[in-house]
């Protein structure tokens, strides 16, 4: 007669072969297990066709493609590009961490394995806010934002400024005057470019006038994400990088990373994080597991549902915005994929109902538009077998 332990072992082995089934041993803290696409219910021919498109340059400069299902890497490709030549064609650009044409900084950090994530950093920053709430360092997302900035002088007497909440910052509805979508990021008329050229990024954002009542209007604003770093500092005593090292990166087994610092020593939460694709996928896996990692709750209960809810109309078709996460609808059942998106083609997609995570990196900052998130979402859905 089999013992209970031996029966459990047999069942566990059987479960590993079932698409949609993840077991405790799948936690990729020390590294992702691997499997074939077919074994995890994916059509490899669909993924191969997408790979062929990337190889042929149909989507410009794509650097990597990673697909994970049921906690296993099932498809991974890398694409080599010469970034020195196109960067050399920008003679007026100076080198440095905030020059997108410096090949020592973009798209790879010091030409190593760490890839710029750009605004995917925002989704990671929101994750840190959630952790701080779970630890009781912040009372909740509805707290007033004003007390966290009492160390800065008020830009004006506009009463709307005092009405801002943390929720407004997380959803890009703060009401602060801002424009980073009508001009390239290399243009001095771009609010984000002006901020990145300043010595005090938080001070610059807080110096701007109010343009709308908080909570009333969505405007994509990298500046408000920088304000989240200051909130973390005031609430926890640490900037985002130091807080992430112990509260997020260490538990998930992320040991290789780089996060830019501003001239004032702030963490560049709006776009400065560099990770490998496999480590970025761990962030998606954490969300797909409702904020729990290997039996430990990293994010407070309910945070994932709130952060990935379609809270705001982004003005990008049917795409919605949550807590620094994009929410992409698909199908006709009201289903959503969660996405962290960054300048140049950084894409983290999470399809929780299919236990599927995908990461794409690239550096399309020239004439070719960045890899379309909706397009790759469609291809991933096509690959999922009934």
pLDDT of residue 16: 40
Q: Compute, in degrees rounded to 10, the torsion defined by CA atoms 331, 121, 208, 94.
A: -120
pLDDT of residue 94: 66
Q: Lowest-pLDDT range, 93-97, 191-195, 300-304, 315-319? A: 93-97
pLDDT of residue 91: 61
User: Is the confidence at residue 369, as pLDDT, over 90?
Assistant: no
Read off the tokens for 97. Answer: 């961490």
User: Is the confidence at residue 5, as pLDDT, over 50?
Assistant: no
208-222 per-position pLDDT tens digit: 999 999 999 999 999
Q: What percent of the chain has pLDDT over 90?
A: 83
250-262 per-position pLDDT tens digit: 999 999 999 999 9
Higher pLDDT, 238 or 366: 238
172-196 per-position pLDDT tens digit: 999 999 999 999 887 889 999 999 9
pLDDT of residue 126: 98
Read off the tokens for 156. Answer: 């004006």
User: Is the confidence at residue 366, as pLDDT, over 80?
Assistant: no
48 burial level (CB within 10 Å; 0-12, 13-18, 19+): middle
pLDDT of residue 185: 83
Nearby residues of 7 by Cβ (< 8 Å), 6 or more positions away: none
Position 204 confidence tier, pLDDT thresholds 50, 70, 90: very high
User: Is the confidence at residue 305, as pLDDT, over 60?
Assistant: yes
41-70 per-position pLDDT tens digit: 999 999 999 999 999 999 999 999 999 999
Query: What number is the average pLDDT over the span 19-27?
Result: 58
270 closest CA partner among 326, 227, 231: 227
pLDDT of residue 15: 39
Whole-number Å distance between alpha carbons of 333 and 14? 31
What residue ranges do the domains of the chain occupy? 32-82+344-386, 108-311
Whole-number Å distance between alpha carbons of 222 and 380? 29
- The class level of CATH for 108-311 reads alpha beta
Query: What number is the average pLDDT over the span 17-33?
Result: 70
Q: Compute, in degrees rounded to 10, the torsion defined by CA atoms 163, 164, 167, 171.
A: 130
- What three-state secondary structure class fits 153? coil
Is residue 357 within 8 A of residue 284, CB to CB? The reply is yes
Query: What number is the average pLDDT over the span 276-296?
Result: 98
């Amino acid at each position: 007669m089999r013992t209970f332990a031996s029966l459990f072992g047999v069942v566990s082995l059987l479960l590993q072969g079932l698409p949609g089934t993840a077991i405790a041993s799948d936690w990729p803290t020390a590294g992702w297990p691997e499997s074939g696409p077919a074994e995890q219910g994916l059509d490899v021919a669909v993924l191969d066709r997408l790979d062929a498109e990337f190889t042929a340059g149909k989507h410009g400069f794509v650097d990597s493609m990673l697909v994970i299902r049921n906690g296993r890497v099932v498809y991974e490709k890398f694409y080599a590009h010469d970034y020195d030549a196109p960067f050399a064609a920008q003679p007026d650009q100076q080198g440095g961490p905030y020059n997108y044409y410096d090949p020592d900084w973009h798209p790879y950090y010091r030409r190593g394995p760490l890839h710029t994530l750009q605004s995917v950093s925002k989704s990671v920053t929101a994750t840190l806010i959630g952790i701080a709430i779970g630890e009781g360092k912040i009372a909740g997302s509805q707290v007033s934002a004003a007390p966290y900035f009492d160390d800065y002088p008020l830009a004006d007497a506009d009463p709307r400024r005092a009405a801002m909440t943390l929720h407004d910052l997380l959803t890009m509805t703060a009401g602060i005057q801002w424009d980073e979508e009508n001009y390239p990021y290399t243009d001095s008329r771009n609010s984000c470019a002006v901020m990145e050229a300043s010595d005090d990024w938080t001070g610059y954002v807080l110096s701007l006038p109010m343009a709308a009542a908080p909570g009333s209007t969505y405007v994509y604003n990298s500046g408000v994400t920088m304000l989240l770093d200051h909130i973390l500092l005031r609430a926890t005593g640490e900037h985002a990088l130091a807080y992430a090292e112990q509260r997020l990166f260490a538990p998930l087994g992320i040991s290789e990373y780089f996060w830019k610092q501003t001239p004032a020593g702030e963490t560049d939460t709006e776009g400065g994080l560099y990770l490998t694709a496999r480590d970025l996928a761990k962030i998606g896996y954490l969300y797909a597991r409702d904020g729990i990692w290997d039996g430990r709750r990293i994010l407070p209960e309910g945070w994932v549902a709130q952060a990935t809810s379609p809270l705001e109309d982004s003005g990008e078709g049917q795409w919605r915005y949550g807590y620094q996460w994009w929410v992409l609808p698909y199908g006709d059942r009201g289903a959503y994929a969660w996405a962290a998106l960054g300048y140049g083609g950084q894409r983290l997609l999470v399809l929780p109902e299919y236990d599927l995570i995908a990461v794409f990196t690239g550096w399309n900052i020239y004439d070719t538009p960045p890899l379309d998130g909706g397009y790759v979402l469609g291809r991933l859905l096509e690959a999922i077998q009934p």
